[in-house]
Structure 1
Amino acid sequence: MNDMTPIETTLKDWESDQEVRWCPGCGDYAILKAVQRTLPQLKADPAKTVFISGIGCSSRFPYYVESYGFHTIHGRAPAFATGVKLANPELDIWLVTGDGDGLSIGGNHLMHVLRRNVDMQIMLFNNEIYGLTKGQYSPTSREGTHTPSTPQGSIDHPANPCAFALGSGARFVARGYDVSKDLPDVLKAAHAHKGAAFIEIFQNCIVYNKDVFEDFTAKKTSAETQIWLEDGKPMLFAKGTKGIALDQESFALKVVDVEGDDWQTAGVLVHNVKSRALAHMLVELPFGPFPMPLGVIYDNPAVTFESAVVEQNKQASEGKTPDFAALLARGQTWTVSGTAQDPV
């Protein structure tokens, strides 16, 4: 985000007058509150904040935030968001999409906003289902998922949103989930990043895919099933009794036991958010043998698209006087004379 004058707001300042309408128990409610609680902490200005969405349950988001917003068309939110950022680079852009909207019809547009590195926060709500259109399987649905469109179980290999983002050239990749108390910290880190910041947010669809993430979000077992990554900190989980290490022979990650506080002897890796190779390994870890990696996985800023465009236009206009008539007369021009009655 570009430097903007910080202002003081409260959660109430970010609540619109629209009735929030998702299914009772939907994870979108928790994500909305997390965002509305985070914005005052960022000292963001509602007059300079824009929420842009495509189509789907998640895409109702702009109605519920007291800021500027666009509810656009299926899969094309990244294109609209790019246009808004280029038109006014001072605006703070939040793009809201879902696993269907962003990775199916919108996969092409999402890829380009990531590779171009347009400065915005991209929240992809992943509930592994098409919720708005009544429960068909989505690009992220697991193999064997039974839905109206896959009555015998899906045979598709699911897309991995974070792997997709890294493969598209994203410079910031993170994960969180709807009811996590740590989600605001992930949002803050994304906002602090200069460039396209991609956040996959696991979101419970209470109607069509209930508790699909319970295997790692359940509070009773979360210490064993989650690993929250922090830059410069050892990759420990299970209350410090286990960690993630590198197998030197296979050059793959593995789980190791940790005796006491001696994580170094166990070979536990220290997280480095600037390591793209490590990020790729982390987002590809199979859940079950490994805990679910959460938090900031990769954060390595680069020149943003809109800043490069602004600089290029500045250089192209140096020493030139605007002349619209001369611009129209450039190149091939001709004059049409005569009347409609003249013979051809």
Structure 2
Amino acid sequence: MIQLADYTGATPAWCPGCGNFGILTALNNALVALEIEPNKVLMVSGIGQAAKLPHYTRGNILNSLHGRALPPAIGAKIANPELTVIAVGGDGDGYGEGANHFINAIRRNHDITYLVHNNQVYGLTKGQASPTSDFGFITKTTPHGADIPLNPIALAVAANGTFVARSFAGDIDHLSQLIIKGIQHRGFALLDILQPCVSFNHKNTYSWYRERVYDLDLNGHNPENKADAFAKSQEWEESIPIGLIYREDRATYEERLPALKRGALVQREFDPMHAEKLLNRFL
């Protein structure tokens, strides 16, 4: 029987009160509830405060480059479809430099779960504006706050994402259940997680979110209605929906890939002659 102790790792080096603590707890809760053994989990991250999360739990981990968590996560899932693959990143990491990978992972519907810690600021580099920073957010890199924020939920719905969801780091039970659903989903599961940054974002605080978030499950929302999902994605300043916003059934990339019809790559017998034939093609 899997227990929380099986996923308890090193003590996190985050600021006291950081929303990342709630996300870490929720992820561990979800993995325990699903009874997934740590050796069957691969967590891949980029660079940033959010990207430190795999270091503070247990399982297989891979630190990639900034904005590049998705490519190695996708490669691992293709090589070994039996792995539970979870990519982790921040809004600057995933929606900035990693935006191209984000869109194409949605389009291809790779069977992985993507947890994006969206605190609307670059925390590791001490407070620059991120792609999701609200209009008017003043920082050293945006002294006039003139940038218009990226809407990742609207982008994911428009790109035909098969699982588009949002939760709040201050509601661990809600987030835990949504992560469970995301891992169980067959296809690319986006969880945009509203995560307060107590050090560098003094607008989008715990209290600010608690006054605005509402649970779509209690609102009669139909996540299979794309028009309604897109309408919900536009809600922000006065009311912010959390929960499963959009879902559709579509074959995963791994299911469509002919090379995997003969079984997982990791389970095939290695023949050095195959590598020699490949090399000879380039000579």
Q: Same fold (TM over 0.5)?
A: yes
CA 1:330–1:132: 2 relative to 1, 3 Å: closer
1:125 maps to what in 2?
117
Instruction: Quote how far apart the aligned CAs of 1:216 are.
Output: 4.7
Instruction: Quote how far apart the aligned CAs of 1:150 are.
Output: 1.6
Larger radius of gyration: 1
Instruction: Quote how far apart the aligned CAs of 1:271 are.
Output: 2.0
1:111 counterpart (103, 106, 118): 103
1:281 maps to what in 2?
231
State the alpha-carbon separation in 1 of the partners of residues 112 and 281 from structure 2.
Answer: 38
1:203-282 counterparts in 2 under 5 A? 203-214=195-206, 216-218=208-210, 222=211, 225-230=212-217, 235=219, 270-282=220-232
- CA offsets per residue over residues 189-219 of structure 1, 9 Å max, x none? 111211100001000111000351446533x
- CA offsets per residue over residues 97-144 of structure 1, 9 Å max, x none? 111001111101111111111111111111110111110111111111
State the alpha-carbon separation in 2 of the partners of residues 210 and 154 from structure 1.
Answer: 14
Q: Which fold has the larger relative contact order, with Cα–Cα distance below 8 Å and residues 6 or more apart in sequence?
A: 2
State the alpha-carbon separation in 1 of the partners of residues 41 and 117 from structure 2.
Answer: 20
Opposite residue 68 of structure 2, the aligned amino acid is: R
1:191 maps to what in 2?
183
CA 1:19–1:310: 2 relative to 1, 3 Å: farther
1:140-151 counterparts in 2 under 5 A? 140-151=132-143
Contact kept, 8 Å, 1:193 with 1:299, in 2: the verdict is: no
Contact kept, 8 Å, 1:166 with 1:173, in 2: the verdict is: yes
Name the SS of the counterpart of 1:280 in structure 2: helix
CA 1:312–1:71: 2 relative to 1, 3 Å: closer
Structure 1 gap ranges (5+): 1-7, 236-269, 316-321, 334-344
1:151-166 counterparts in 2 under 5 A? 151=143, 153-166=144-157
State the alpha-carbon separation in 2 of the partners of residues 178 and 140 from structure 1.
Answer: 16
1:306 counterpart (234, 254, 257): 254
- CA offsets per residue over residues 299-335 of structure 1, 9 Å max, x none? 21211111222566549xxxxxx874994698798xx
Q: Alignment length, in residue pairs?
A: 274
Structure 2 gap ranges (5+): 264-270
CA 1:328–1:87: 2 relative to 1, 3 Å: closer
1:10 maps to what in 2?
3
Say whether 1:293 aligns with 2:241.
Answer: yes
Give the TM-score, by structure 1 length: 0.74
- CA offsets per residue over residues 218-274 of structure 1, 9 Å max, x none? 3xxx4xx332112xx6x2xxxxxxxxxxxxxxxxxxxxxxxxxxxxxxxxxx42221
Contact kept, 8 Å, 1:98 with 1:126, in 2: the verdict is: yes
- CA offsets per residue over residues 67-102 of structure 1, 9 Å max, x none? 001111011111010111111111001110111001
- CA offsets per residue over residues 150-190 of structure 1, 9 Å max, x none? 22x31111001111222332110111111103111111111
Give the TM-score, by structure 2 length: 0.90
1:172 counterpart (160, 163, 168): 163
Say what the alpha-carbon RMSD is for the aligned residues. Answer: 2.3
CA 1:143–1:46: 2 relative to 1, 3 Å: same
CA 1:135–1:277: 2 relative to 1, 3 Å: same
CA 1:312–1:184: 2 relative to 1, 3 Å: closer
Instruction: Quote how far apart the aligned CAs of 1:149 are.
Output: 0.9
State the alpha-carbon separation in 1 of the partners of residues 84 and 160 from structure 2.
Answer: 21
Which has more helix, going by share of residues?
Answer: 2
- CA offsets per residue over residues 30-80 of structure 1, 9 Å max, x none? 110111122110111111101110111100011111100111101111101
Contact kept, 8 Å, 2:129 with 2:137, in 1: the verdict is: yes
State the alpha-carbon separation in 1 of the partners of residues 275 and 183 from structure 2.
Answer: 43
State the alpha-carbon separation in 1 of the partners of residues 184 and 28 from structure 2.
Answer: 17
